Amino acid sequence: MSSPAVPESQPKLVQVDRHTYEVNVVREGGFGKVWLLKRRTKEWDWIYGPENAVKTFNLYEDEQEAVIERELGNWISLQSRHIVSLIKIVRLNFQLGALMLLKQEKVGRSAAVTRCCMLAGVTRRQQLACVR
């Protein structure tokens, strides 16, 4: 079964800071969206990798954005294998976002699969749907 297509209402290309990415999948979470992205060019660096996940937030007021920015500042300093690492605070099409790399993991006895490790706020079923 193939990955779900990007809905017509979602853009096919997005800009993360100064880089352009193709949108593979967009997942709705409780606090925003998770964008699974693939770099359009073969050129990439260690921060903006070839495949990324970006979490954007449902913000309705400027005050909420300030609170989210403060929480992202706290998150970026956390280091635990139980917490998804925040690589960088970014703008996805001018929207505040949290950038994470896609990570290789072992799932049960199966081979390594690519999974979005940033799915905070997304159900377990939706997390498993991201496994390719």
Answer for the pair 33, 56: CB distance below 8 angstroms, yes or no.
Answer: yes
Looking at the 3D structure of the chain, how many domains does it have?
1
Confidence (pLDDT) at 24: 92
The model's pLDDT over 79-111, given as tens digits with 9 standing for 90+, comes to 888 888 888 999 999 999 999 867 644 444 333
Report pLDDT for 21: 93
Alpha carbon dihedral 37, 42, 44, 50, in 10-degree steps, equals 30
Contact 19, 48 (CB under 8 A): yes
Q: Identify the residue whose tokens are 């290789």.
A: 104
Q: Domain range spanning residue 115?
A: 13-129
Residue 92 within any structural domain of the chain: yes
CATH code of the domain covering residue 58: 3.30.200.20
- The answer to the question of residue 67 being in a domain is yes
